[in-house]
């Protein structure tokens, strides 16, 4: 998604949640400065995704019902993009993610294990995570930087707001043939893999609803075949029932 097309959506998010665009921009600059010698070209993402079938694994409560695990294992040849906390779910079940999209509030050990196993880390900078950027980015060997505001050198804007919907925007951006959502419930319940500590549950739910709206918008213009395994599929995504 072009930045000019994305920015009006970001402005709506900024207004809804009270974010400071200057602070978001400063976070992007901090990440840009940190990764000058370890930044990956986004072409590595295109190579992994273009023309492929992709599973985006979110950290929703449905991960715990056994169906999600069975589906991911059954479709091992699909490219697996893990949204932050979902990394822990995959690692615990001995599944290697191909790409991890994270703003670093998931389990640090799981994130490091994923990177060590060969996953491409797409690390997001925003105004609330500069401390985690400084703590964890030095521990990664290579990564792709991302932002929700104006791109900087080595820090890109692929669209999206939460780790989950950013994962889908990224898959769309790099030409996935098919995108299947697993564990992307985006409802009123917060999954155990979603975040180590949720300080404000209501705010978390509000963010998930914002992510749902963005994916509904993306579905209207997507070039990929979209499917959703959630009980309440996102509008524009084909319902996909999976059995335990």
Question: Residue 128 maps to which CATH number?
Answer: 3.90.1480
**Is residue 202 domain-resident?**
yes
29 inside domain:
yes
**What is the tally of structural domains in the chain?**
1
SS (H, E, C) 14-69: HHHHCCCHHHHHHHHHHHHHHCCCCECCCHHHHHHHCCCEEEEECCCHHHHHCHHH
What pLDDT score was predicted for residue 142? 97
Structural domain including 112 reads 3-239
Q: Examine residue 244 and state whether it is found in any structural domain, yes or no.
A: no
Is the pLDDT at 197 greater than 70? The verdict is no
Whether the per-residue pLDDT at 81 is higher than 70: the answer is yes
The residue among 193 and 15 whose pLDDT is bigger is: 15
> If you average pLDDT over every residue of the chain, what do you get?
94
pLDDT at 196 over 80: no
Res. 198 pLDDT band, cuts 50 70 90 = low
Judged against a pLDDT cut of 80, whether residue 195 lies above it is answered with no
Is 70 exceeded by the pLDDT of residue 173? Answer: yes
**pLDDT above 70 covers what percent of the chain?**
98
Query: What is the structure's pLDDT at 66?
Result: 87
The pLDDT confidence band at residue 140, using thresholds 50, 70 and 90, is: very high
């Amino acid at each position: 998604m072009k930045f000019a097309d994305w920015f009006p959506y970001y402005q709506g998010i900024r207004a809804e949640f009270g974010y400071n665009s200057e602070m978001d921009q400063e976070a992007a600059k901090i990440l840009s400065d940190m990764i000058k010698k370890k930044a990956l070209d986004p072409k590595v993402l295109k190579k992994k995704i273009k023309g492929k079938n992709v599973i985006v694994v979110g950290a929703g409560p449905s991960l715990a019902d056994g169906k999600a695990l069975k589906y991911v294992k059954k479709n091992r040849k699909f490219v697996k993009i893990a949204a932050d906390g979902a990394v822990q779910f995959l690692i615990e079940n001995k599944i290697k993610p191909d790409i991890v999209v994270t703003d670093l509030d998931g389990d640090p050990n799981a994130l490091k294990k994923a990177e060590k196993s060969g996953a491409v880390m797409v690390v997001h900078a925003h105004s609330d995570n500069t401390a985690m950027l400084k703590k964890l980015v030095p521990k990664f060997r290579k990564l792709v930087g991302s932002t929700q505001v104006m791109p900087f050198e080595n820090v890109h804007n692929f669209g999206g707001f939460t780790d989950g919907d950013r994962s889908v925007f990224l898959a769309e951006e790099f030409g996935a043939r098919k995108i299947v959502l697993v564990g992307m419930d985006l409802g009123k319940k917060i999954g155990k893999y979603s975040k180590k500590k949720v300080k404000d549950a209501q705010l978390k739910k509000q963010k998930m609803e914002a992510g749902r709206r963005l994916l509904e918008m993306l579905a209207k213009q997507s070039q990929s075949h979209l499917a959703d395994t959630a009980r309440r599929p996102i509008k524009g995504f084909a319902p996909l029932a999976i059995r335990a």
